Amino acid sequence: MSAGSQKILVVDDDSAFRVTVSALLEQEGFAVSMAPSGEVALGLLAGEPFDALIVDQHMRGMSGLEFLKRSQERWPELPVILLTAHATVPLAVEAIKGGALDFIVKPFDRAELISVVKKAMAVAARTVPDRLAPTLGQRAMLGTSRAMREVRELIRKVAPTLATVMILGESGTGKELVARALHEHSGRSAEPFIKVDCAALPDALLESELFGYERGAFTGALARKLGRLELAKRGTLFLDEIGDVKATTQVKLLRALQDRQFERLGAIETNRVEARFVVATHRNLEEMIAAGTFRQDLFYRLDVVRIGVPPLRARREDIPVLASHFCAHFAKQSGRPTLTLRPGALELLAEQDWPGNVRQLQNLVERLTIVSKHLAVEADVVRRELGRRPFEFATSPATALHGARLDSHVRRAELAALTQALKEASNNRALAAQLLGVSRRTLYTKLAEHGLT
């Protein structure tokens, strides 16, 4: 591995020292990225692979030892070099026991730094296959909390099996990411991953989407269409919001799961189901069974392995990592310098309940990258954006109602609210309905009325 292909992340809140170390490493031919805090560094690590880390011990917010502990939990094979200007024997012992490859005291000379870095690269070269493989933390769920470690461990155990998986969690928690991780870490990863959003389709349309149809099966069926069960082949069929499936389709799904067979609409021949089923819902299916709106036998077929994705408010310690990761992501996406969230801003984010969960946090960080005038975001800027009303209209009620009919203003207000909710929810209909405080059926009706379908 040439030096030019080796990547090092330098983590220090002293910008001058960061730049100096980076310049020395770049002169040796290494590719270098910089992070002004441990929180930002964890976000960068979640988004791209590095060969080694150089981390200062004394930083505002997360210390070097705390960063070492959290990074080793997720990337134990990644070499970490710890720097400090105040060396003590207990500190050195704690650093090495914590997983640090080496310990350097400031000030140091160039030869010492390069020698230690080359030793780290030799270690990295021996673990390169594991290090470059996408981790479950990258593809499934970011976070170092106990709850998320348990989710990732369960994914590792279940992914290689053929078991049907039910993913439970509130909207915006990342259920689809878990489903994709199950697929990517299974023996079916080379086959298709097919997603069906059951809440977005009327029951009749959902049935034809799932099972397909023959030419002439109904008015408008001008040619044979393969359903999602066939398109998934031997891959994974992900049924999102399974709780929204109506009774008639539930019966057909039960047969597909139980007998591994189905027919296209209007067909005589029977087809074999080869795909693995993964389903997700934010609903309480046991309550729906008691209410008679979900079949108990279908539930037992689906509930083979259950993975519960915790809401963001139940894993607040992950919020700084997620926020910093989104800062790095949107900076890379837009070609801008990475936004830094000050410790006070991160603490404020961690105090919120986030009813829209990770998706809501992601949207807020994206908004901050657009509206923030400075690269270092303070708590007052976050507080201002958190305090914004979901929908703001330029005209006052008195001005808006002057000289016009009430119903036309109601329609304009509805259209503005729908448009803004879809924007806030990144066009996710389920989250938009939650933001508006209406059912998804009501949302789809209103979207159709305003030509937004």
Report the pLDDT value the prediction gives residue 194, as an integer from 0 to 100: 92
Q: What is the pLDDT along the chain (453 residues), one digit of tens a residue?
A: 455 567 899 999 888 888 888 888 888 888 888 888 888 888 788 767 788 899 998 888 888 888 888 888 777 778 898 888 776 667 766 777 777 888 788 777 788 888 888 888 877 665 544 333 344 444 446 777 888 889 988 998 999 999 999 999 999 899 999 999 999 889 898 899 999 999 888 877 888 888 888 888 877 778 888 889 999 999 999 999 999 999 889 999 999 999 999 888 888 888 899 999 999 999 999 999 999 999 999 999 999 999 999 999 999 988 988 888 888 888 777 777 778 888 888 999 999 999 999 989 999 998 898 888 888 889 999 999 888 755 444 444 443 444 444 455 566 677 777 877 777 766 777 777 777 777 777 777 777 677 665
pLDDT of residue 124: 65
pLDDT confidence of residue 387: 83
Closest CA to 238 of 299, 282, 196: 196
**pLDDT at residue number 309:** 94
Beta bridge partners of 165: 278, 305
pLDDT in tens, 153-190: 899 899 999 999 999 999 989 999 999 999 988 989 88
Right CATH number for 146-308 from 3.40.50.2300, 1.10.4160.10, 3.80.10.10, 3.40.50.300? Answer: 3.40.50.300
> CATH 3.40.50.2300: which residues of the chain?
3-132
Angstrom distance (rounded) from CA 356 to CA 20: 41
pLDDT one-digit tens code per residue, 412-423? 677 777 877 777
pLDDT at residue 330, rounded to an integer:
84
> Where does CATH 1.10.10 sit in the chain?
397-449
Query: What is d(CA 250, CA 286) in angstroms, rounded to the nearest whole number?
Result: 15
Helix (H) or strand (E) holding 80: strand 80-84
Tokens 């005038």 locate to: 373
Angle (CA) 102-108-114 rounded to 5° is 60
Q: Would you mind telling me the total number of residues written for the chain in this entry?
A: 453
Which residues belong to CATH 3.40.50.300 in the chain? Answer: 146-308
Q: What crossing angle do the helices spanning 319-334 and 38-47 adopt, rounded to 10°? A: 60
Count of other CB atoms within 10 angstroms of residue 367 = 14
Q: What is the CATH number of domain 3-132?
A: 3.40.50.2300
Instruction: Check residue 320 and give its pLDDT.
Output: 87
Q: What is the pLDDT of residue 132?
A: 35
pTM for this one? 0.61
Q: Side chain identity at 342, as an amino acid letter?
A: R
Which CATH class name applies to 312-386? Answer: mainly alpha
Tally Cβ neighbours within 10 Å of residue 16: 8
- In 316-423 the beta strands, taken as DSSP E runs, fall at 340-341, 376-377
- pLDDT value at position 311? 93
Separation between Cα atoms, residue 423 and residue 432, nearest integer Å = 8
Q: Output the pLDDT for position 342.
A: 87
On whether the CB atoms of residues 82 and 68 are closer than 8 A, the answer is yes
Question: What is the C-alpha end-to-end distance of the chain, expressed in Å?
Answer: 52
Q: Where in the chain is the domain with CATH 1.10.8.60?
A: 312-386
CATH number of 397-449, picked from 1.10.3470, 3.40.50, 1.10.357, 1.10.10:
1.10.10
* Residue that the structure tokens 């979640």 belong to: 46
- Between CA 414 and CA 391 the distance in angstroms is 11
Counting Cβ atoms within 10 Å, is residue 446 exposed (0-12), middle (13-18) or buried (19+)?
A: middle
User: What's the pLDDT score for residue 136?
Assistant: 44
* pLDDT, position 128: 44
Q: Which candidate, 21, 37, 31, 3, places its Cα nearest to that of 325?
A: 37
